[in-house]
Amino acid sequence: MFTGLVEGQGRVTAVEKRGGDILFRFHPLFSFDAPEIGESVACNGVCLTMETWIPAGPDFTVFASAETASCTNLGALTVGSLVNMERAMAMGDRFGGHIVSGHVDCVAHVESVTPVGGSRRIRMAFDAEWSSQVVPKGSVTLDGISLTVNSCGPGWLEVNIIPETWRVTTAADWRPGAAVNMETDVIAKYVKNLLLPYQGEQKQESESRITMDFLRDHGFGV
């Protein structure tokens, strides 16, 4: 579990492709104290498991399956690429962002980057099927960054990147057309799932009103 508050960036130092799977070696560019084999690290918002720790780097390796590579932007990483990193939250830590699972829903694409004072307004386009889980002033995770949705509509959203976030994350590299990992609010997922049975009942009730008598009463000669 993560919060979407990026701790720092990491640099890709090796990429080993194994069919559709990929073994990455990352060099964290921030203090990475007491690493534990098997711990979860969010890399561009994707929850990955540390397989090895190489003190000489220091570097660590993670394995991304073909499924993960196909539905995130990790498959496009090359040696030298930078990623946003966050280690899993610990009990008792400050919860400064929002609940982030590290399970990417879709890849969004940057449509525009507009300076607004000292900040930047970023407009993203994504598959409209996820729009019901994105609301104004709600939370969204973009490449592992917890952000507030300024405005949104079917298949798009806008967020504001403050100077500090621009300075310490890969958001500074976003350009029109850039692919960004997107995770919607987990609470919205649960609410949507809880409402599905009731939506089904409404649909059935609506269908049940169309009877033979209804058709006769409304001029259909049956």
CATH of 8-87, one of 2.60.40.1480, 2.40.30.20, 2.40.30.30, 1.10.10.10: 2.40.30.20
Topology at the third CATH level for domain 106-189: Elongation Factor Tu (Ef-tu); domain 3 (2.40.30)
Question: How much is the pLDDT for 209?
Answer: 56
Which of helix, strand or coil describes residue 220? coil
Question: How much is the pLDDT for 196?
Answer: 82
Answer yes or no: are the C-beta atoms of 41 and 35 closer than 8 Å. Answer: no
Q: What is the pTM of this model?
A: 0.86
Question: How much is the pLDDT for 213?
Answer: 66
Q: Would you say the CATH fold of 106-189 matches that of 8-87? A: yes
Single out the residue of 182, 125, 116, 132 nearest to residue 156, CA to CA: 125
Q: Which alpha helices (H) appear in the chain, and where do they start and end?
A: 66-71, 163-168, 186-208, 212-217
Question: How much is the pLDDT for 208?
Answer: 47
Torsion region of 4: left, alpha or beta (phi above 0 gives left; psi -120 to 50 gives alpha): left
pLDDT tens by residue, the chain, 222 residues: 899 999 999 999 999 998 889 999 999 999 999 999 999 999 999 999 999 999 999 999 999 999 999 999 999 999 999 999 999 988 777 788 888 999 999 999 999 999 999 999 999 999 999 999 999 999 999 999 999 999 999 999 999 999 999 999 999 999 999 999 999 999 888 888 888 887 765 554 445 455 556 556 666 554
Question: Distance between CA atoms of 7 and 28, rounded to whole angstroms?
Answer: 10
* Domain boundaries along the sequence of the chain: 8-87, 106-189
